[in-house]
Structure 1
Amino acid sequence: MNATFVVIGGGIAGVTCAETLAFYQPEQEIILVSESSLIKTVTNLLALTQTLTSFNVEEASSNVLNSKYKNINVVHGTLNKINDVEKHVIIDINIKINYEYLCICTGARPKLIPQAKDNPYVLGIRDTDSIEYFIERLKDSKKIAVVGNGGIASELIYKIQNTDIDWIIKDDHISATFVDPGAGEFFQSSLHKNFNTAEQSPSKQMRYEEEGGSKSGAALGPDWYKHFQIKGACELPAQVKIHYQTELAEVKIDADCEHPVKITLNNGQEINCDLVISATGVEPNLNFHGSSDFKLSPLKEIMVNEYMQTSLPNIYAAGDVCHAYWDHAQHWFPMKLWTQARQMGCYAAKCMSSALNEEEILQDFCFEIFTHTTKLFGYKVILLGLFNGQKLGKDYEILFRMTKEHEYVKLILQNGKLQGAVLVGDTDLEEMCENLILNQLDLSDYKEDLLNPDIDIEDYFD
């Protein structure tokens, strides 16, 4: 097979890259290689500010791309080998695809706890298939342990019903990947809330079945939990017990006990449960061979420059598999998120298109400021700039406002200028905060009034 552009990966980064290429190069042949016959597509894309977007990620048959774009051909298979000298890839064992430009968007795989190896009672959470398997196992469980403190772990804790949960986190507050201890405390009241009827109703979203058995799917997108009912075997609502600053030390199985799993924490505490859920992050998926070696980061990610180019000619990379190896803008940094996977996939396509046309390209504006929107414990969460004081050392000040069960607002200032913000709830402050971070206006004279609820500060700065 031959194509001008070959994109490897059916996740958010890969599909976005292929779709953007189809827009910029409608006359060129594009091949998207996906392990699964299902792909992840971005829908309902909504611009909240100049750089902040919200969107849904939906699972769809790969035929959707074939029918929507005449120049995209989807090939089902797994990348086996890259030959950068002869410019071709081998898919599985018998498909050879020649390319002019190649983009690797193979994403990441779950970084499971060591105790998960060959243990049927320890489940990893990463994609839709793993979630559905977990839901099936949870139906017979009355007590589980969840290890991890990122987005998926937090969403699971919030969504699980009718099962007692021991939440094991190595930090001193919940959701530490995204928020500070204050916001973690703000979320505490949501741990034991019952869902409203709308959230409990079965999903009406179209579901597709995998062809030819299950294969590894792409990462879960934002609000994935809305489409599932996650219930255990208890008749009473879930009770959550949090074990702070602890890690899992040992897992033992005794099938004759009421709760067959016995786990020991590194503080010596023992817990009996029915399942252990590993939601401890991801590692890059580089399960293929190459005729040449990529330049890799210490975490084994493919390093890319400011044009998403790898160390090998005509080969690009985007999403969780790569590391942004360039001088970052003051208020931006890389993080393994679906928002950045989408941004990188889109920008990589622009760079490849410009390379084909021998055009100069400027780096996308989305890399000027870190932005991310998600939902945690039922609240809208917006993160802007250096939202946890990243890069600032200890020389900064914090302004915050909290209304219990309503909103949590934290602003990070250095030398009187806004550097980052955490906005939880419907604050409507995101556009103002983004503008103040980008234009670096001196706010020294306004600090006392920035979060005064009696002053419409957003209207003032507009």
Structure 2
Amino acid sequence: MRYVVVGGGVAGVCCVEELCRLCPDDSVVLVSAAKVLKGVTVVARLSRTLEELATVERQLDELPYPNLTVVHDAAVGIDTGAQAVRLASGQRLPYDKLCVCAGARPKQLPPSVFTTSTAAPGQSSSEAEAERQCQLAAMKARVLTIRDTDSVSRLGAQLAHATRVAVVGNGGIALELIAGLSGVDVTWVMRHEHIGDAFFDLDAAQFLLEELQRQREQGQLQDQQQGHLQGLQRGQQQQGQVQQVQQGVQQQQGQGQQQHQHQQGQQQQGQGQQVQQQGQAAAAEPSGSAAASPTKEASQAGRQQLLDGREAIPVLGHAVGPHWVQQLLPAAVVAGAGGRVSTLHHGRVELKYGCEVASIELAPQPDSQADGNAGSDAGSSKHSPALLLTLTGGEQVPADLVLLAIGVSPALEWVPARLQRAPDGGLKLDRLMRSSDPCIFAAGDSASCCWAATDSAHWFQMRLWSQARAMGVYAAHCMSGVQDQRGADMAFELFTHATHFLGHKVVLLGLYNGQRLDGEPHGDLISYSRVTEGPQRTFVRLLLLRGRVQGVVLIGDTGLEETFENLILDQLDVSQYGPSLLDPDFELDHVFD
């Protein structure tokens, strides 16, 4: 049997590893356009079906299977009649069974969004076109599409010179990205009415915003304290320098009295007093520029603010703390700040709800910079104009950098159109992960599990790493014909996802946001939520349909994952307990007795 898997991401690597394990005597070929493969590792098992995962990267030759061949090439087509994959190099790979795990491409803004200025009077058509292309290049160099850690790692050079950033999108990548943007002012543009619409309802989103504002205030206070301490240290250093000057003057005075006449000594003493007075005046004022340390008035204001916690925090938009991009971004922010103490701040975050980007153009340059160099050094906001975003509501937002995280589309342009697609663009699959061609399977972002709506009461598809892993493993079982023996389809009994958003552990179980429940009578749906106060606040939200738990959102370390997982799977009627289910003193284990 000849198995071919296209794609070196999580789904493809998991599928290949499982095929090699299940079929050690068969040929397995992995086609990867990238030199680095991405897999997953289990960080923690939280319950029977819930695992916390982390991605791992490996080189092409690091998969230790003797029956595996790794081909570093890009798939450009499939000859379904001859059962062969066509590669960019011209090679053809025959297969008996093929699994498409080609991932997805990030969505882009339409070209019509980018607006250029009209041609100047007297310009020829060629000159006007060259100017237009120059402007487009300058704008697009500042618009980065964010998909994963690979694309985030390219932000450093851009952020080093940015002070204003616009983030467009409201999914998981946008949430994580917002967390990592420290030291710049951020405008967060989303078409929804609350943050994290794909993951949270309004109550959960509000809880996160409250937590993030609290973190924001703590961060601002720490920044002020740090800046004040650094200002004091600079003052002490300056005082030491003044004392050294005074000692030098005194030594000069003594030498002058021994070597010169009394009149010359008096003259030198007068000069020494003048230097000493200048040194004392310097000691009375903080040293350095305004960007390096606070002025006397600013220091006094800062001390007064530190005495009053509420006064210490200016009125800002919603802001967040660092998370998974923290290791990638602060170095760039510090580099861009030139080491200035005054830039040690979290920056403000302003939210723009219910809108999208209508147009992007280059902001007008000051006269001193209007030298026609819009296309030069396009990546540096210090030497080229900022962008001006116009939102669908008409509001204009300036930004040095625009970060897009507006979703993904399956990367299936190379797959023949005769293979049936689902409405979301993925390959339409049956319960055994087969496409409309029974020899071609799919997993991960390339797959659309249309069967889930009828075959699984509490599982639905989201394009997540955790689901890519489960699909890759299950596809391997289906390709090798052992799906009924291995129980891999248990991963499709219950939607589970464990992650961290904005510094908080988040667990999502079942139909946590009411997915597929729109047609149910309103009176049959009940939602309970609880916020536990304390140093580590937590949020719990239950969704019940006719007294049975359908979905759960857990934010923070609640320790309730396994209990609510069992309540969803067992479908016990818990209507008699009502909101007591969320009482911290209620013994949930008694429900199963």
TM-score (norm 2): 0.69
Q: Distance in 2 between matches of 1:296 and 1:143?
A: 40
Show CA shifts across 1:214-247 (max 9, x none). xxxxxxxxx8536523453451322111111111
CA drift of 1:450 comes to 0.6
Residue identity matched to 1:297? A
CA drift of 1:423 comes to 0.5
The residue that corresponds to 1:308 in the other structure is 433
Question: Conserved in 1, the CA contact under 8 Å of 2:42 and 2:51?
Answer: no
Question: Conserved in 1, the CA contact under 8 Å of 2:180 and 2:324?
Answer: no
Question: Conserved in 1, the CA contact under 8 Å of 2:12 and 2:101?
Answer: yes
Comparing 185-194 with 78-87, greater Cα deviation is found at 185-194
The residue that corresponds to 1:337 in the other structure is 464
Alignment pair present for 1:296 and 2:421: yes
Q: Distance in 2 between matches of 1:120 and 1:14?
A: 32
Show CA shifts across 1:90-149 (max 9, x none). 111322111111000001000122247862211101133321222221111001100000
Match of 1:412 among 534, 538, 543: 543
Match of 2:397 among 268, 271, 291: 271
The residue that corresponds to 2:118 in the other structure is none
Show CA shifts across 1:270-317 (max 9, x none). 111101111000001013153x61101122211110000011131100
Superposed structure 1 runs of 4+ greater than 6 Å apart: 358-363
Residue identity matched to 1:275? L
Residue identity matched to 1:239? R
**1:32 aligned counterpart, secondary structure:** strand
What does 1:35-434 correspond to in 2, within 5 Å? Answer: 35-65=33-63, 68-114=64-110, 115=113, 119-188=140-209, 189-190=211-212, 192=216, 194=219, 224-225=324-325, 227-230=327-330, 231-232=332-333, 233=336, 235=343, 236-254=345-363, 256=365, 260-290=386-416, 293-326=418-451, 327-354=454-481, 364-393=489-518, 394=522, 395-404=524-533, 406-434=537-565
The residue that corresponds to 1:456 in the other structure is 587
Question: Conserved in 2, the CA contact under 8 Å of 1:158 and 1:190?
Answer: no
Pick closer, same or farther for the CA change 1:388–1:136 going to 2, 3 Å: same
CA drift of 1:46 comes to 3.2
Question: Conserved in 1, the CA contact under 8 Å of 2:12 and 2:472?
Answer: yes
Pick closer, same or farther for the CA change 1:289–1:13 going to 2, 3 Å: closer
CA drift of 1:461 comes to 3.8
CA drift of 1:366 comes to 1.2
Pick closer, same or farther for the CA change 1:375–1:247 going to 2, 3 Å: same
Q: Distance in 2 between matches of 1:281 and 1:135?
A: 22
Comparing 177-186 with 226-235, greater Cα deviation is found at 226-235
Residue identity matched to 2:434? Q
Q: Distance in 1 between matches of 2:484 and 2:46?
A: 30
Residue identity matched to 1:140? H
Q: Distance in 1 between matches of 2:39 and 2:329?
A: 22
Question: Conserved in 1, the CA contact under 8 Å of 2:528 and 2:579?
Answer: no
Pick closer, same or farther for the CA change 1:7–1:134 going to 2, 3 Å: same
Residue identity matched to 2:351? I
Q: Which one has a bigger Cα radius of gyration?
A: 2
Q: Distance in 2 between matches of 1:398 and 1:282?
A: 31
Pick closer, same or farther for the CA change 1:319–1:450 going to 2, 3 Å: same
Q: Distance in 2 between matches of 1:297 and 1:461?
A: 40
Question: Conserved in 2, the CA contact under 8 Å of 1:145 and 1:275?
Answer: yes
Pick closer, same or farther for the CA change 1:224–1:107 going to 2, 3 Å: farther
Q: Distance in 1 between matches of 2:75 and 2:347?
A: 42
Pick closer, same or farther for the CA change 1:44–1:414 going to 2, 3 Å: closer
Question: Conserved in 2, the CA contact under 8 Å of 1:401 and 1:409?
Answer: yes
Question: Conserved in 1, the CA contact under 8 Å of 2:11 and 2:469?
Answer: yes
Question: Conserved in 2, the CA contact under 8 Å of 1:386 and 1:419?
Answer: yes
The residue that corresponds to 2:23 in the other structure is 25
TM-score (norm 1): 0.88
**2:582 aligned counterpart, secondary structure:** coil
Pick closer, same or farther for the CA change 1:360–1:120 going to 2, 3 Å: same
Question: Conserved in 1, the CA contact under 8 Å of 2:170 and 2:406?
Answer: yes
Show CA shifts across 1:164-205 (max 9, x none). 000011111111110111111111132536499xxxxxxxxx
Question: Conserved in 1, the CA contact under 8 Å of 2:23 and 2:480?
Answer: yes
Q: Distance in 1 between matches of 2:446 and 2:6?
A: 11
- Please list every run of 5 or more consecutive structure 2 residues that lacks an aligned counterpart in the other structure: 115-135, 223-322, 338-342, 367-381
Residue identity matched to 2:201? D
Q: CA RMSD in A?
A: 2.3
CA drift of 1:426 comes to 0.5
Question: Conserved in 2, the CA contact under 8 Å of 1:146 and 1:168?
Answer: yes
CA drift of 1:35 comes to 0.8
Residue identity matched to 1:403? T
CA drift of 1:18 comes to 0.3
CA drift of 1:460 comes to 5.5
Count how many residue pairs are aligned between Structure 1 and Structure 2. 430
Residue identity matched to 1:88? A
Q: Distance in 2 between matches of 1:187 and 1:62?
A: 40
Residue identity matched to 2:62? V
Which of the two has greater strand per residue?
1
